[in-house]
Amino acid sequence: MITHSRPWVTDADAGHVAAWALSGHHLGGFDDAALAGLLAPGDTQCFLFPSGRMALRAALAALALPVGGEVIVQTYVCDAVLWAIEACGLVPALCDLDDGWTCSPATVAAALSPRSVAIVLAPPFGFAQPALAFRQFGLPVVSDRCQSAPHPDAYDTDADATVLSFHPTKYVSGAGGGAVLTHREDCLGALRHDEVAQSQSAPWSNLQKALLSCQLARLHAFEARRDVIFRALRDSLRPALSARMEMHRSVAPGRMFRFVVEADEPFGDLRERFAAMGVAVRRGVDSLAHGSRGLPDALFPAAMARFDATLSLPFYPALSDTDLARVLSASEQLL
């Protein structure tokens, strides 16, 4: 079975990790400043956390938002985002999508209330969603880029904080881990304190940091390989399948994290048919957040439409040419 996701670990990556493993220095002593320098541009501050969700929790906590306040976020989102909001004593206020897979100022405005205290932007699939358009609401904006390529030149200075994830299935792998990037001086003390506290209870090992440093050092290779796979998938399928993705894609093909299409058939049927051909596919997200909060689907028509139609195909640098050919063959036959 060709898996939907898999980290791309080279012999050089493995060798660097093995050197740290053999050194016996598994915790402490790693050059965290150098690692942060691979993630943060200029004088932007970078803080490392055990996971992406813990990083998002820390970013929200550093803003010192009033307990019980509402944080606006789209319903088409990973449940880890809701966990981070609630872990800070805050309440998710869910909004619908616009024409693509992200919210817009208009859909955020529809969710505004006197209790609104912040906005979390959580664009999926590697889309870039600039924070500038959301500054009009006068609320702090946290940019959840856990599905984005961690290129320093993509850092959004209009966001109060940017969150990254290095889960094994993300753009690059640190075998876990996450980061917060910010330029807000008033958040640095809280983030530094949180970073130290979390490193004591759930330390991020030198083996993980060694893996991530290798992956970040060859971001250009990740982007080049993803570019090849993206173009092969796009060019082999009917243009209508990827038309919405292409319309809303605001980054280079190689910086996309997922390759999604809009299919005409029910997801369950397609998943079984792809599996019969040895290819694993997924939805864009496993579920919509409003369902777990008991909110009616009718309030989120755009999200429901995207949820029902979106199919995510295998798209990652570790995909071999042989496996890519199998994915292309199955997709051409079934879609």
What CA–CA distances, in Å, run from 129 to 1, 24, 293, 319? 34, 42, 25, 27
Parse the chain into domains and list their residue ranges: 23-217, 219-334
Share of the chain above pLDDT 90, in %: 91
114-164, pLDDT tens digit by residue?
Answer: 999 999 999 999 999 999 999 999 999 999 999 999 998 888 899 999 999
| CATH number among 3.30.590.20, 3.40.640.10, 3.40.30.10, 3.30.465.10, domain 23-217 | 3.40.640.10
pLDDT of residue 43: 84
pLDDT of residue 220: 96
171-190, pLDDT tens digit by residue?
Answer: 999 999 999 999 999 999 99
pLDDT of residue 131: 97
pLDDT of residue 257: 97
d(CA 198, CA 189): 14
pLDDT of residue 153: 85
pLDDT of residue 199: 87
| CATH number among 3.90.1150.10, 3.40.50.2000, 3.50.50.60, 3.40.50.261, domain 219-334 | 3.90.1150.10
> Is the distance from CB of 172 to CB of 39 less than 8 angstroms?
no
- Other Cβ atoms less than 10 A from the Cβ of 323: the count is 16
Q: What is the mean pLDDT of each run of 10 residues along the chain (335 residues)?
A: 97 94 91 90 90 97 98 96 98 97 98 98 96 97 96 90 96 96 95 93 92 96 98 97 96 98 94 97 97 95 97 98 98 96
User: pTM, whole model, 2 decimals?
Assistant: 0.96
d(CA 270, CA 28): 47
pLDDT of residue 50: 93
